Amino acid sequence: MAVKRAGLGKGLDSLIPEGKKTVPAKKTEEKIVEKVVEKVVEKVVHEEQKVKISKVEPNREQPRRHFEEDALLELADSIRQFGVLQPLLVQKKGDYYEIIAGERRWRAAKLAGLKEVPVIVRDYSEQEVVEIALIENIQRENLNPIEEAMAYKKLLTEFKLKQDEVAERVSKSRTAVTNSMRLLKLDEKIQQMIIDEMISTGHARALLAIEDKEEQYNLATRIFDEKLSVRDVENIIRQMKNPKQKKEKKVVENSFIYKDLEEKMISVMGTKVSVNQKGNGKGKIEIEYYSNAELERIFDLLMSTAQN
């Protein structure tokens, strides 16, 4: 028999059959060789079968934590009309089946009131289950940025994979994986804002330049309240890191003398007079007027004083 090879990095289609296959009457299962996590493991592939939906439970290590209610309701309507078109990928766990891929379909099927769901039973290691669930969600763009980052972190920390290996398995660049995981360095409140789509990942990456968690959160709330662009945020952070030092006004010695002269000129002119000192004995005198008649009066006063 021809040997079929498939790998996690090749996509989920190589792991989940598109539809029910025709199997000879005396043959209920076949063996294939599958490359998983850089080693060859012999697997047994069972044909599609139906099980009670009450016997199926989600995987607790599923990367995805948030499911849009409206999208689930739409899928539930479709399932009522056409049924579950693609079987769930599950594995046997004692007296129940744990979902490896297809939790969204399972949830929608429950909403649709189905009593049974089609499944394909497989047997995988814990690491393989995490990888398959991650690949499925990434391919369907179901994960929010924080869920995706946490899944990458799990593969790195719990299963001791390198970033290059993780990137290969999910068909992403190493840079994309690295940038995704950097989001986990943000304050938890900001991570929740990303999940709630209050700020974008572009905003979030810009906020990573701020080390202080409180300052991060304060700016994050400004982004949401003021609808700031990523460019706006970058400019604000640049100003925060390189504040322009305010020029201190030089205090002129004996300033009380200038104040006294100012008051005397006001009493003579009968209008507001300002004496502005620049230091080193320099400055300027400003005399205010409020009408043409007052300007002529001040002019006559100055001329008469000059003639005297």
302-306-308 Cα angle (round to 5) = 120
pLDDT of 32 reads: 36
pLDDT of 272 reads: 83
Distance CA 60, CA 122 (A): 17
Would residue 294 show up in a list of annotated catalytic residues for this protein? no
> What count of other Cβ atoms lies within 10 Å of the Cβ of residue 208?
15
Q: Compute φ and ψ for 251, nearest 5 degrees.
A: -85, 115
- Exposed e or buried b per residue across 81-96, where buried means at least 16 C-beta atoms within 10 angstroms of its C-beta: eeebeebbbbbeeeee
Distance CA 29, CA 162 (A): 35
pLDDT of 25 reads: 41
Which has the closest alpha carbon to 150: 137, 1, 261, 237?
137
Strand partners, 274: 286
Torsion of CA 258, 259, 263, 269, to 10 degrees: 40
Beta strands 282-287 and 273-279 are antiparallel
269: Cα separation from own chain's centroid = 66
Contact 205, 179 (CB under 8 A): yes
Question: Tokens in use for 226?
Answer: 């003021």
Torsion of CA 205, 128, 119, 116, to 10 degrees: -60
Question: Tokens in use for 1?
Answer: 């028999």
- Tell me which of 29, 38, 61, 103 is the catalytic residue: 103
Distance CA 270, CA 267 (A): 5
pLDDT of 7 reads: 42
Distance CA 166, CA 151 (A): 10
pLDDT of 243 reads: 76
The one-digit pLDDT tens for each residue of the chain (308 residues) are 444 444 444 444 544 444 444 344 444 443 433 333 333 334 444 578 898 999 998 877 665 556 677 777 888 898 888 888 889 888 888 888 988 888 888 888 988 999 999 998 888 777 777 777 777 666 655 678 898 888 888 888 877 778 888 888 777 889 999 999 999 999 999 999 998 889 999 999 999 999 999 999 999 999 999 999 999 999 999 998 887 654 444 445 567 777 778 888 887 777 888 888 776 777 888 888 888 878 888 887 888 777 76
pLDDT of 62 reads: 62
